[in-house]
Amino acid sequence: MDLGHRDARVIVTGGAANIGRGIVHGFAREGARVLIADLDAKQAEAVAAEARDLGAAAAEVVAADLTEPAAGAEVARRAIEAWGGIDVLVNNAGWSQPGFFAEQTDRALWQRTIEVNLYSAFGCTQAVLGPMREAGRGAIVFISSDSAFGAIRQGIYGSTKAGLIAIARTIAREHGRHGIRSNVIAPGLVIPDEGTEVGPHSVWAAGPDAIFTAEQTEYVLKQQALRRLTTAADIANAVLWISSQNAARQVTGQVVAVGGGSAMP
């Protein structure tokens, strides 16, 4: 089936590594035009080059701290300046530091988690709604997490990811009349492919063991129905489907868990 993404104008936040990189690659293979908004300019440029090699009609980079007040507007402006509009926004930018809830008492950690995971999505979403309303169509995808439904060592992070679900459903109800669809993909644990660059700003910069040790990963897999790791490509395939006007034109306000059955919302 033709998903209709050829020449689509797509923004992927946090597109320089892991899940975001996989999403960029997915749209590139469909022939879309992709703007990568990421704090790590060098890594984002490397992913943009990969996207062009994979068949992207165009690939651009905006190096930005998306927690800054004007960053979302600048990202949207750059996409409109380059391509005249925005068809898809993927709010993927995120940050986490696993830890037991009773021990994560550092308010600076709370603030950073909230700003990266929620403020960046607030700003970018508000910035694209006007252009999408004018066009009478658009798709917004929020990358949440199965930790949004409750997970050990993910209390602060999971709370922000649950917040994304509320935002997505609010957008769906408020803007469906304008032809804008808003949905959520909730990944399970996705570990970067061995040997791939993630850049110094990634939560994975210190290596997978800094986030999930082999023993912790095994524990996660034991709770999952399919008993296999989720990949960035798995998430990308779900994003491509749910953002497609051809394949998912009547789907909005929904949460799709892509984690092998680790969560079943």
Torsions phi, psi of 11, nearest 5? -110, 130
Q: DSSP code of 191?
A: P
**94-104 b/e with 16+ CB inside 10 Å = b?**
bbbbbbeeeeb
**Would you call 157 a catalytic residue per the annotation?**
yes
Structure-token match 């994304």, residue found: 164
Structure-token match 């950073």, residue found: 112
Q: Per the residue annotation, which of 144, 157, 232, 260 is the catalytic one? A: 157
- Three-state secondary-structure class, residue 144: coil
Torsions phi, psi of 12, nearest 5? -120, 115
Query: Quick one: tokens of 91?
Result: 């709010």
Does residue 94 contact residue 117 with C-beta atoms inside 8 Å?
yes
Does residue 173 contact residue 254 with C-beta atoms inside 8 Å?
no
DSSP conformation letters of 203-233: TTTT-GGGT--HHHHHHHHHTSSS-S-B-HH
Residue 204's identity, in one-letter code, is W
As a whole number of angstroms, the distance between CA 107 and CA 100 comes to 14
Torsions phi, psi of 96, nearest 5? -150, 155
Catalytic residues: 157
